[in-house]
């Protein structure tokens, strides 16, 4: 006989402990907001699955304090060695790492998804949180004030009450289904791909190897910090989709023309189908969706995992702010800001998928469309400035980094000074600032010589140049690293009014 427990109310119940749910949990944990993070699986998920981490996501990891761990287990700007049917070999895909003061991570990183989850779980532990594995959401009901959810795990069931419920539980989301949110799109059964993690003999690990063949693509990508490669092979309707070692070897031999490469028994394998969908809305009352529960894409362009992580980065600070007394209207901006981003990502990944099918190759072009550095929220209710359309930087844009900033403690980057999930005001002039007692606001004064802990000197002009600042400019940066407000007239009341509206 099972037993039912009833627990006291908490602030947020997060369903699903993949990269999206873990990121959200870290955001809430560091803000001191109570939450529970449940995962139906008995333990961490195996397999590389998503493996590309884009520059903007690396900036999110920088803010959370895990970027060094993630990079240590990955490889930046991995080249792609592509072999055509006629045997011609080309090398591409290795973005040149440029010295850009405004972009600390100018190239994408290859690392298996389980390494991302591992780094996030460790950070969550450091924040005092944990994943509750083997705990599934059975059902929930919501009122104007809370969500009541029934959780099932070994030994029985329990009912929990939370102010908000966030579904980060993937494409088959129970949260989305029970919330009655439509998931528009299509499943293309004719577009499939075998994906597996395998050890390989007879192939170097210097590049992502790809072979184009009339029957389709096959590739082997070395997974840094492991002894395995990720195997990918496109499978048309008339081809054998069996996930056996024998079938995978046969496909590789036919398409590569090589018999000297030996695959070992897969450590993990899956048959991927093109499932391309976008939720009708990201919110139903006190229930939110993030990550694959809200949008699923093809892997072309390496966008899915990254988009989910950034969903969580956007939603996390807003939930924390409202939990601490900010206006509930702040939560309305989550759908308004993030759903258009996902729609754009779907269009990009669809175009890349079409290209991959037609050319039987993985697109290697890397630009602003794939790095996600150009993702922004101009026109959002949270974006205000007094600039015109000719300005390169506007409210709603990603807040760029800047190097060569001198402080009383030595040289710093801007990102070193603004991380931590708080609002930051950059004051380029002598304008009096918002009262220092305002909780959660940090003010950095740009001065000729630093004398206090909040003073910075723009030694080589990178900060003023990137932000297009004059000696009167005020720039307010959001907790998630986007520009909230710019006032080139030095209007401090605009800053106060902005923060008051959120409060």
410-412 vs 423-427, strand pairing mode: unpaired
Q: 317: how many CB neighbours lie within 10 A of its CB?
A: 24
Mean pLDDT value of segment 48-70:
96
How do residues 306-327 score in pLDDT, each as one tens digit?
A: 999 999 999 999 999 999 999 9
Look-up of token digits 């190097």: 403
Q: How far apart are CA 397 and CA 384, in angstroms?
A: 11
List the structure tokens of 65: 């304090």
498 sits in the region (left: phi over 0; alpha: psi -120 to 50; else beta) called: alpha
Show Cβ contacts of residue 328 under 8 Å, excluding neighbours closer than 6 positions. Answer: 322
Range list of H helices, 7-129: 19-30, 55-64, 67-72, 113-126
417: closest CA among 427, 429, 405?
405
Q: How far apart are CA 282 and CA 333, in angstroms?
A: 10
List the structure tokens of 391: 């300005």
User: Which residue did the predictor score with more confidence, 379 or 372?
Assistant: 379
pLDDT at 382: 98
How do residues 90-119 score in pLDDT, each as one tens digit?
A: 988 765 557 789 999 999 999 999 999 999
User: Which residue did the predictor score with more confidence, 354 or 234?
Assistant: 234
Q: How far apart are CA 403 and CA 461, in angstroms?
A: 9
Q: Does domain 187-273 have CATH number 3.30.70.2450?
A: yes
List the structure tokens of 216: 């389709």
How do residues 446-464 score in pLDDT, each as one tens digit?
A: 999 999 999 999 999 999 9
What single-letter DSSP state applies at residue 262? Answer: E
**Are 171 and 275 within 8 A, CB to CB?**
yes
How many alpha carbons fall within 13 Å on the CB side of residue 219?
24
Q: Give kind and range of the element (H or E) at residue 336.
A: helix 332-359
**pLDDT range class, residue 301, cuts 50, 70, 90:** low
pLDDT at 242: 96
Burial of 128 (0-12, 13-18, 19+ CB in 10 A): exposed
423-427 vs 474-477, strand pairing mode: antiparallel
- Mean pLDDT in the chain? 91
Mean pLDDT value of segment 43-67:
95
Q: How far apart are CA 213 and CA 236, in angstroms?
A: 13
User: Which residue did the predictor score with more confidence, 429 or 142?
Assistant: 142
Instruction: Please report the DSSP string for 111-150 in residue order.
Output: --HHHHHHHHHHHHHHTT--EEET-EEEEEEE-SS-EEEE
Query: Is the pLDDT assigned to residue 24 strictly greater than 70?
Result: yes
How do residues 226-261 score in pLDDT, each as one tens digit?
A: 999 999 999 999 999 999 999 999 999 999 999 999
Architecture of domain 3-74+107-185+275-371: 3-Layer(bba) Sandwich (3.50)
Q: How far apart are CA 320 and CA 166, in angstroms?
A: 13
- Radius of gyration for the alpha carbons in the chain, expressed in angstroms and rounded: 24
Query: Is the pLDDT assigned to residue 1 strictly greater than 90?
Result: no
Mean pLDDT value of segment 85-89:
92
Instruction: Report CA 119 to chain centroid distance, whole Å.
Output: 14
Could you tell me the fold of the domain covering 384-502? Glutaredoxin (3.40.30)
Q: How far apart are CA 262 and CA 72, in angstroms?
A: 28
**Are 173 and 289 within 8 A, CB to CB?**
yes
**Are 463 and 402 within 8 A, CB to CB?**
yes
Query: Which residues, in sequence order, are bridge partners of residue 475?
Result: 426, 486
**Are 347 and 68 within 8 A, CB to CB?**
no
User: Which residue did the predictor score with more confidence, 201 or 361?
Assistant: 201
pLDDT at 99: 77
Show Cβ contacts of residue 34 under 8 Å, excluding neighbours closer than 6 positions. Answer: 10, 11, 12, 28
Look-up of token digits 């910090």: 225
Choose the weakest-confidence range: 17-31, 142-156, 184-198, 278-292: 184-198
Residues comprising the chain, all counted: 503
| Backbone phi, psi, residue 369, to 5° | -70, -25
Q: How far apart are CA 131 and CA 290, in angstroms?
A: 17
With vertex at residue 448, the alpha carbon angle to CA 444 and CA 450, rounded to the nearest 5 degrees, is 55
- pTM of the entire predicted model: 0.94
Mean pLDDT value of segment 76-85:
93
User: Which residue did the predictor score with more confidence, 273 or 433?
Assistant: 273
Query: Is the pLDDT assigned to residue 436 strictly greater than 60?
Result: no
Strands, sheet with 455-458, edge to edge from the N-terminal-most edge strand = 384-385, 483-487, 474-477, 423-427, 441-446, 455-458, 405-407, 410-412
Q: How far apart are CA 426 and CA 444, in angstroms?
A: 5
What single-letter DSSP state applies at residue 26? Answer: H
Long-range contacts formed by 83-92: CB under 8 A, 24+ apart:
83/209, 83/210, 83/211, 83/212, 83/256, 84/212, 85/212, 85/213, 85/214, 87/257, 91/207, 92/364
Instruction: Report CA 9 to chain centroid distance, whole Å.
Output: 29
| Spans of all domains in the chain | 3-74+107-185+275-371, 187-273, 384-502
């Amino acid at each position: 006989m099972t037993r039912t427990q009833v627990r006291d109310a908490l602030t947020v119940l997060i369903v699903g402990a993949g990269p999206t749910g873990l990121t959200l949990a870290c955001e809430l944990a560091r803000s001191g907001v109570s939450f529970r993070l449940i995962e139906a699986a008995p333990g961490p998920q195996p397999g590389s699955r998503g493996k590309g981490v884009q520059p903007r996501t690396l900036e999110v990891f920088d803010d959370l304090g895990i970027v060094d761990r993630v990079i240590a287990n990955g490889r930046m700007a991995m080249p792609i060695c592509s072999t055509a049917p006629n045997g011609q070999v080309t090398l591409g895909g290795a973005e040149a790492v440029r010295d850009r003061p405004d972009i600390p991570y100018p190239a994408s990183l290859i690392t298996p998804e389980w390494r991302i989850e591992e780094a996030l779980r460790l950070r969550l532990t450091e924040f005092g949180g944990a994943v509750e594995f083997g705990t599934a959401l059975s059902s929930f009901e919501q009122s104007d004030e809370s969500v009541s959810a029934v959780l099932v795990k070994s030994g029985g069931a329990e009912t929990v009450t939370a102010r908000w419920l966030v579904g980060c539980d993937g494409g088959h989301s129970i949260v989305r289904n029970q919330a009655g949110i439509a998931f528009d799109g299509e499943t293309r059964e004719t577009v499939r791909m075998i994906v597996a993690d395998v050890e390989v003999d007879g192939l170097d690990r210097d590049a992502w190897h790809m072979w184009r063949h009339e029957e389709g693509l096959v590739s082997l990508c070395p997974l840094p910090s492991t002894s395995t490669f990720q195997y990918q092979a496109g499978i048309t309707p008339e081809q054998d989709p069996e996930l056996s070692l024998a079938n995978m070897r046969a496909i590789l031999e036919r398409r590569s023309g090589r018999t000297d490469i030996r695959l070992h028994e897969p450590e993990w394998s899956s048959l991927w189908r093109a499932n391309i969908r976008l939720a009708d809305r990201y919110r139903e009352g006190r229930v939110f969706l993030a990550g694959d529960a809200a949008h699923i894409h093809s892997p072309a362009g390496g966008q899915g995992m990254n988009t989910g992580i950034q969903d969580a980065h956007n939603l996390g600070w807003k939930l924390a702010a409202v939990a601490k007394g900010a206006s509930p209207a702040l939560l309305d901006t989550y759908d308004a800001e993030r759903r258009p981003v996902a729609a754009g990502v779907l269009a990009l990944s669809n175009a890349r998928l079409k290209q991959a099918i037609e050319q039987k190759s993985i697109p290697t072009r890397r630009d602003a469309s794939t790095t996600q550095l150009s993702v922004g929220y101009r026109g959002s209710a949270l974006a205000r400035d007094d600039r015109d359309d000719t300005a390169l930087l506007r409210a709603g844009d990603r807040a760029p980094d800047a190097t060569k900033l001198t402080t009383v403690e030595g040289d710093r980057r801007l990102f070193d000074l603004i991380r931590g999930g708080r609002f930051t005001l950059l004051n380029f002039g002598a304008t009096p600032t918002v009262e220092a007692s305002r909780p959660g606001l940090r003010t950095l004064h740009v001065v000729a010589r630093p004398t206090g802990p909040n003073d910075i000197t723009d030694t080589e002009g990178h900060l003023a140049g990137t932000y297009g600042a004059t000696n009167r400019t005020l720039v307010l940066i959001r907790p998630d690293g986007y520009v909230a407000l710019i006032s080139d007239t030095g209007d401090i009341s605009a800053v106060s009014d902005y923060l008051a509206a959120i409060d």
